[in-house]
Amino acid sequence: MKEIVVSGIRSTGNLHLGNYFGALRNFIKMQHEHTCYFFIADYHSLTTHPDPAMLHVNVKNILSEYLAAGLDPDVATIFLQSDLPQIPELYLLLNMHVYVGELERTVSFKEKVRKQPDNVNAGLLTYPSLMAADILMHKATKVPVGKDQEQHLEMTRRFARRFNTIYGVDYFPEPDAYNFGSELVKIPGLDGSGKMGKSEGNCVYLIDDEKNLRKKVMRAVTDQGPTEPNSVKPEPIENLFTIMKVVSTPDTVDYFEEKYNTCQIRYGDMKKQLAEDILKVTLPIRNRILEIQKDDDYLRKVVKQGAEKARESASKVLSDVRQIMGFKSF
């Protein structure tokens, strides 16, 4: 069945391995089989990083990274969230049926309240409704995202269902969070705990050069090594294996598992291999990023073409929604 696929990444910095394996890689695989919309969530970036000097730079970097990683603008629709005036309008309409209580209970909101207590803005609270507007704007059925976005997708499904029920229609499909393999993934950081994330400072970026990348991986947190055979791996070690499982061959993973289970593991060797295998993924992308970033004409063309295609689908949906909600012309 041909799916409608929508996903995006906030323009808050360069793309890291978590973004790549959680979202982008899946999207690249899906673009040839399905109708795909992939965008840069620049409005969402304002909830945490309102920086006029950096906004355009970040958007340009991410666009170059999308293209370098393999998104094809002639196949998928690649656009900027802020190029679609229909999104803020749908966001406003959806918000009329979204309750403050449910927004306050969102895990990501509670986390942000903890992290940025001096800037608990209304955009942060309504982050899930803006995300739902992005997704429902194209009546998406599948949304390739990492594990951390699961709750936002549940909320999008709930908002879609609520809209259909209130207005007695069967208009919005209920989209699923999606990973091409099977389970949604969470790529851990190199600091021993938690997920890889821009604000955690524990990332490997697609744009990292070889020397820097090797240095970061070699500095990843480990321990003294196991003293009992087949012991349970502490979190920092489990994390290294998790990253290895996405970048290395199964034989390589098995080799180091065996070394761990027999208490012969040398983390230095494991990290060297891990850096090597990460570089196999990131270096070709990095080289293309550097090329594409220089080509302003190409980037301009991609954004223009994407905005036109995305607006076509968005204006149709918005006009339907307005009709359903009772907005009629005189």
Q: Which residues of the shown chain bind ligand TYM in the complex (CB under 6 A)?
A: 6-10, 18-19, 22-23, 41, 44, 131, 134-135, 143, 145-146, 148-149, 185-187, 195-197
**DSSP 8-state code for residue 117:** T
- Beta-ladder partners of 40: 9, 80
Question: Does residue 294 have an active-site annotation?
Answer: no
Using alpha carbons only, how large is the chain's radius of gyration in Å?
Answer: 21
Closer Cβ to ligand TYM, 10 or 271, answer by number: 10
Two tokens, residue 255? 């080799």
Minimum distance, C-beta of residue 227 to ligand TYM, in the bound complex (Å): 30
Minimum distance, C-beta of residue 195 to ligand TYM, in the bound complex (Å): 4
Cα dihedral sign for 34, 182, 206, 197? positive
CA dihedral 46, 51, 57, 62 (to 10 degrees): -30
Question: Does residue 198 have an active-site annotation?
Answer: yes
Minimum distance, C-beta of residue 181 to ligand TYM, in the bound complex (Å): 12
Question: Does residue 272 have an active-site annotation?
Answer: no
Contact 8, 137 (CB under 8 A): no
Minimum distance, C-beta of residue 132 to ligand TYM, in the bound complex (Å): 8
- Beta-ladder partners of 185: none
Closer Cβ to ligand TYM, 146 or 226, answer by number: 146
Give the angle subtended at the CA of 322 by the CAs of 316 and 324, to the nearest 5°: 100
- Spatial distance between the Cα atoms of 257 and 249, rounded to a whole number of angstroms: 13
Give the angle subtended at the CA of 64 by the CAs of 220 and 276, to the nearest 5°: 30
Q: Give the active site residue among 139, 147, 186, 195.
A: 195
Q: Give the active site residue among 142, 198, 216, 271.
A: 198
Q: What is the DSSP annotation of 21-78?
A: IIIIHHHHHHTTTSEEEEEEEHHHHTTT---HHHHHHHHHHHHHHHHHHT--TTTSEE
- Spatial distance between the Cα atoms of 214 and 67, rounded to a whole number of angstroms: 24
Closer Cβ to ligand TYM, 196 or 275, answer by number: 196
Minimum distance, C-beta of residue 128 to ligand TYM, in the bound complex (Å): 9
Give the active site residues.
112, 195, 198
